[in-house]
Copies of this chain bind each other. A is one copy, B any other.
Amino acid sequence: MTTMKEIAAAVGVSTATVSLVLNGRDKGRVKAALAEHVRRTAEELGYWPNAIARSLRTNRSRMLGFISVEVATTPYAGGMIQGAQDAARRHGYMLLTVSADDAATMRDEIDALKRYGVDGFFYSTMSNRRVDIPESLDDYPLVIVDASQRTAEEGGNDSSRRFPSIEPDEFRIGYDATSRLLDAGCRRIAYIGFAADDDSIGAANDNGATTAAGDAVDGAVGAARDGGAAGMANGDAVANAGSLAADPTVAQAGRLAGYLAALADRGVTPDPAWQCNVGTNGAALAAVARLFEEVKPDGFFCFNDSRALYVYEQAARHGLEIGRDISVVGVDNHRVLAETLSPQLTTIELPHYEMGYWAALQLISMVEGRELSVADAPAMTAPLPPLEWPVADDDGNDSSASTAPGSLDVKIHCTLIDKESVAPAAGQ
């Protein structure tokens, strides 16, 4: 491994000079010809800076910790990580990815990452929800991906800093999907939503509960429409305080609110019986079967593509052809299903890659204390909002951080990919 010392010896200068030149700080300090000589020699000798030595000296590692909850079971985590990695690499950073499913592991992993000297953190979850950021991360630059921070009023960490986050615009997902179905002529539009498995029977399939849930979310429509995450501070979220387990309440409430708002805007009165919040497997399939038999919807908006599968199964069972007899729009959480059904299923794509990319740019700009150009982002399907975040001063005090604007929570628009699962003018 070539070192600066060797280059210095070869050229006949000091290592200081080599360092200046190779770091581009030679402007007006080193004669151009000499600088050129140094650069050429470095090239010839195949020199690469030793990242570790540099880190020791500068106290910057150019490494970023990517903490995610439940990567192992999350098929789309890869896209997010890939996006973050691509952006990171482009700016000379490397990712240390780590997964933590419980508080103890989380603490250990954070400690480990700190000891390895990461410059900042990503904090990401398996499904969009409100999270508490561990206090031990308070002193570091951090960006939340596919989640947002629980406020103190919601029972969150009140001591904690406010961190920027990026998440899908859940309300708009529901709104766009439902609008697409309405455009196609559907009038009895079902929502196959999310319910935790242990109460998949309860919620939407029993009439009383359905109405209650419908009402609760109904009240949230106005707020959600303004881009706020109000209405998600519900009992469930609070009950799950401190837990790292899956809890897609934000996604569920947001998409449902969008669904209801779209119906309302088009003068369609939603029937609570159209809502079918299900868990997985047999019970879910049975619930969807009942929906087919009792409600006979002509359109289906599915919380995710995994749930769309139940609709496909039941359609087959009932001899209905999707894209002719009924229409289906799903949210593409799971790339696997895209592999199997993509040419058929109209989906709203969750821009995991883009969120990861954006988050990395944001994080690096925080770490380096300068704005980053978003221009070089490759193949970004979703528009990136401007980066903004108060910068730490030299003492490491992020003086203005605690007063950071709420707008740090960026909601990213997700595009609808039209496929044959939606009939031009559906009707049963």
Contact = CB atoms under 8 A, between A and B. Distances in A.
A201 to B, nearest CB: 15
Number of copies: 2
B52 A117 contact: yes
A51 B115 contact: yes
B63 A74 contact: no
A79 interface: yes
Contacts of A317: 316-317, 319
Given A50-B115, A97-B97, A99-B82, A306 B63 contact: no
A72 B77 CA distance: 8
A79 B52 CA distance: 30
A335 B89 CA distance: 29
Interface in A94-113: 94-99, 108-109, 111-113
Which has the most chain B C-beta neighbours within 10 Å: A50, A95, A340? A340
Interface stretch (A216-224, A293-301, A341-349, A360-368): A341-349
A405 B370 CA distance: 53
A78 B71 contact: yes
A110 B97 CA distance: 17
A: interface residue count bin: 35 or more
Interface string A247-291: 000000000000000000000000000000000111010000000
Interface in A62-93: 63, 71-79, 81-82, 85, 89
A50 B56 CA distance: 9
Given A82-B72, A280-B340, A344-B281, A108 B89 contact: yes
A309 interface: yes
Contact of A82 (B53, B71, B89): B71
Interface string A414-425: 000000000000
A176 B115 CA distance: 46
A353 interface: yes
A339 B280 contact: yes
A186 B79 CA distance: 41
A36 interface: no
Interface in A302-356: 306, 309-310, 312-314, 316-317, 319, 334-337, 339-344, 353
Contact of A97 (B95, B113, B117, B334): B95
Contacts of A344: 281-282
A334 B75 contact: yes
Interface centre among A72, A74, A111, A344 (most CB of B within 10 A): A72
Contacts of A281: 340-344
A139 to B, nearest CB: 11
A426 B178 CA distance: 43
Given A52-B55, A72-B79, 4 more contacts: A75-B78, A309-B340, A313-B316, A336-B337
16 contacts: A48-B115, A52-B52, A52-B117, A63-B96, A72-B78, A75-B75, A78-B78, A78-B99, A85-B97, A95-B96, A281-B340, A281-B341, A306-B340, A313-B313, A314-B316, A336-B337
